Amino acid sequence: MVRYIRTTAELTADLVELERQIAHLRVQQAVIVNELDRGQARLTDASRTTAEYVQSHADVSTATARDLVLVGTTMGHHRTVNRDLAAGRITFDRAVVTLAHLASHASDEEMAQIADLNLEDARRRLASRKRLTLGDEHSLHARRHFTAQPSLDRTHYRLWGEVPGYEGALIEKAVVERADEFQRQSPDVATNRGQRQADALVAMAQDSLDRREEERDDPNPGGPTVTVFVDARETEPTETAAEVAFGPRVGPVTLESMLCSGSVRVVGLEGDQPVSSSASSRAIPPAVRDAVALRDGGCTIDGCRSRYRLQPHHITPWSHGGRHEMDNLTTVCWYHHHVAIHRSGYHIDPESPPRRRRLLRPDSSRGRIPRSHDPP
Ligand SMILES: [Zn+2]
Ligand SMILES: [Zn+2]
C-alpha cells in the first residue's frame, strides 16, 4: 500500500490556508460580538464588560475575548484593515495588532513600520508607545474601586475591583510574595496558586488589624476582641449555629480556629437567653497560652521556621474531647494553623515528637499515614 505523504511545502500551504479560514470565522464572531456589545448583552448576566460576557459564554481566554471585542468594535472604522481581513490578506492576529495601534493613534509612518514587524515585535511596540494623557490618568484614577460583598446568608464574600496599573502591580506583588512565603514554609500542604493568594490577602488584612490594636492604648491587652454566640445545647461537632457578634455566621471549623486564637469570648445561648454552660470554658485560658508559647518558642511543625502569628492549637480538638492541657497544646504559625490545619483539615500526628510535629493528611480520617521510613 502506498501512502500519500504531503511535502513540507504542501503542509505549510495547508497551515496558512486554515489560518485564513480561522480569520474568516473570527471576523464573523467579531461582527456578532459588536452586536452583543451594542445590545448591552452583558447586562443580561453578571458580566461587567462585553469581553467578560464573551469569555464566559464562548469559553475562550481573556485575551481572545478582548481581541474579539477590539476587532468587533473598531473594524468598521478602518476600511483598509476591514478589506484586508475580508480578502484573507492578513490573519486575525495581525488585524488585532494593527487595530490596536490605530486605536492608540499611530501615525501613517508608524503604521507602515508596524506592517513590517513580526507580531511579537508589533505587540511590544504597542506597549512601549502607549502614552497616557493626563485625561487618561485622571479617568483611570477616578474608576478605582474595591468591593467586598457578602452573600445573602453571610457565609462567604465576593471581592472585586479595579485600580490603575501602578497600584495594581503593587498589590499583585505584595500578594504574590506573601503567597510564595507560605509555600516555602509549608511545601507539603496541597494548595493552588489562587488559594494561596487568597490566604495571603487574609494574612495582610489580619496584620493591618493587629497593627491598629498595637497602636491603640488597649486597657485590656490580650482580652477578647470578638464575642461568639453558640447554641449551648449543641452537641454535634460537625455543624454549628455559631454567630459572631455584629458579624458573620461561622461553621465548626472557623469556631474551632477562633477558639485557638484566644481573642474570643464564647457565650452559650439557650434560645436567646445567655446561660452558663461548658461553652464558655472553650477558650484557652491566658495563663495556659503563655506557658505553651514559652515552652515551644516557635512553630513546632517539623521543618517550619515561621514565627508569623504563633498560636496554640489543640492536638485533639475540643469537639473530640481534647482539653486545655499543656500536653494537648502545641504552638503553630498562622499558615500551618489557620490554613493547613483548621481550613484544609490536616491534623497533627499525636505520636510525632513535641518539637518536630508531623501533619497528617485530611483523608487519613484521624489515623496515621504509614511512612516509608516508619517501622512496619
Ligand atoms: Zn487550632
Ligand atoms: Zn509553621
Res. 249: pLDDT tops 80: no
160: CA distance to ligand 2 center in Å?
30
Residue-level pLDDT at 119: 93
Q: Where are the domains of the chain?
A: 8-131, 146-215, 223-280, 284-376
pLDDT for res 218: 44
CB-based contact 250:243 (threshold 8 Å): yes
Nearest ligand, measured from the Cα of 296: 2
pLDDT for residue 323 is more than 90: no
Cell numbers 508596524: residue: 114
Q: What is the pLDDT of residue 54?
A: 94
How many angstroms is it from 299 CA to the middle of ligand 1? 12
Mean pLDDT across the stretch 32-40? 93
Cα distance between residue 79 and residue 87, in whole Å: 12
Whether 221 shows a pLDDT value over 70: the answer reads no
More confident residue, 114 or 254: 114
Q: Which pLDDT value is given to residue 322? A: 82
Quick one: pLDDT band at residue 14, thresholds 50, 70, 90? very high
Cell of 116: 513590517
Query: What is the whole-number distance in angstroms between the Cα of residue 336 and the centre of ligand 2?
Result: 5
* Res 92 pLDDT > 50: yes
d(CA 81, CA 12): 24
C-alpha of residue 62 to centroid of ligand 1, in Å:
40
Dist. CA 201 → ligand 2 center (Å): 18
Q: What pLDDT score does 220 carry?
A: 41
Q: Which of 14-18, 97-101, 129-133, 190-194 has the lowest mean pLDDT?
A: 129-133
CB 334 within 8 A of CB 311: yes
Indicate whether 328 pLDDT > 60.
yes
Tell me, rounded to whole angstroms, the distance of Cα 330 from its chain centroid: 29
Backbone CA torsion sign across 294, 300, 303, 308: negative
Number of H helices, E strands in the chain: 13, 11
40's torsion region: left (phi>0), alpha (psi -120 to 50) or beta? left
**Alpha carbons 277 and 281: distance in angstroms, whole number:** 8
> Which residues, other chains included, contact 258 with Cβ-Cβ below 8 Å and sequence gap of 6+?
226, 228, 250, 264
d(Cα 230, Cα 323) in Å, to the nearest integer?
A: 18
CA of 313 to the centre of ligand 1 (A): 4
Residue 333 has pLDDT above 50, yes or no: yes
**Is it the case that residue 149 has pLDDT exceeding 70?**
yes
Q: Are the CB atoms for 237 and 282 separated by under 8 Å? A: no
Who wins on pLDDT, 6 or 281?
6
Q: What are the backbone dihedrals phi and psi of residue 349, each rounded to the nearest 5 degrees, phi first? A: -70, 115
Banded pLDDT at 241 (limits 50, 70, 90) = low
Read off the pLDDT of each residue in 324-342 and give the average, rounded to a whole number. 89
Q: What is the pLDDT of residue 303?
A: 85
Residue 145 pLDDT more than 50? yes
How high does pLDDT run on average in the chain?
Answer: 82
pLDDT over threshold 70, residue 87:
yes
Ligand nearest to the CA of 330: 1
Expressed in angstroms and rounded, the spacing between residue 148 Cα and the centre of ligand 1 is 27
Q: Are 254 and 216 in contact (CB under 8 A)?
A: no
Residue 332 Cα to ligand 1 middle (Å): 8
Helix/strand/coil (H/E/C) assignment for every residue in the chain: CCCCCCCHHHHHHHHHHHHHHHHHHHHHHHHHHHHHHHCCHHHHCCCCCHHHHHHHHHCCCHHHHHHHHHHHHHHHHCHHHHHHHHCCCCCHHHHHHHHHHHHCCCCHHHHHHHHHCCHHHHHHHHHHHCCCCHHHHHHHHHCCEEEEEECCCCCCEEEEEECCHHHHHHHHHHHHHHHHHHHHHCCCCCCCHHHHHHHHHHHHHHHHHHHHHHHCCCCCCCCCCEEEEEECCCCCCCCCCEEECCCCEECHHHHHHHHHHCCEEEEEEECCEEECCHHHHCCCCHHHHHHHHHHHCCCCECCCCCCCCCEEEECCCHHHCCCCCHHHEEEECHHHHHHHHHHCCCEECCCCCCCCECEECHHHCCCCCCCCCCCC
Rounded percentage of the chain residues whose pLDDT exceeds 70: 84
Burial class (CB in 10 A: 0-12, 13-18, 19+), 185: buried
Q: How far is the CA of 343 from the centre of ligand 1 (A)?
A: 10
Residue with the larger pLDDT of the pair 167 and 228: 167
Distance from Cα 193 to the centre of ligand 2, integer Å: 19
pLDDT of residue 246: 65
Mean pLDDT of 233-243: 59
Q: Are 81 and 90 in contact (CB under 8 A)?
A: yes
For residue 374, is pLDDT > 70? no
Q: Output the pLDDT for position 376.
A: 30
Segment 168-191, tens digit of pLDDT? 888 999 999 999 988 888 877 888
Mean pLDDT is highest, among 37-51, 169-183, 352-366, for 169-183
Q: What is the band of 375 on the pLDDT scale with cuts at 50, 70, 90?
A: very low
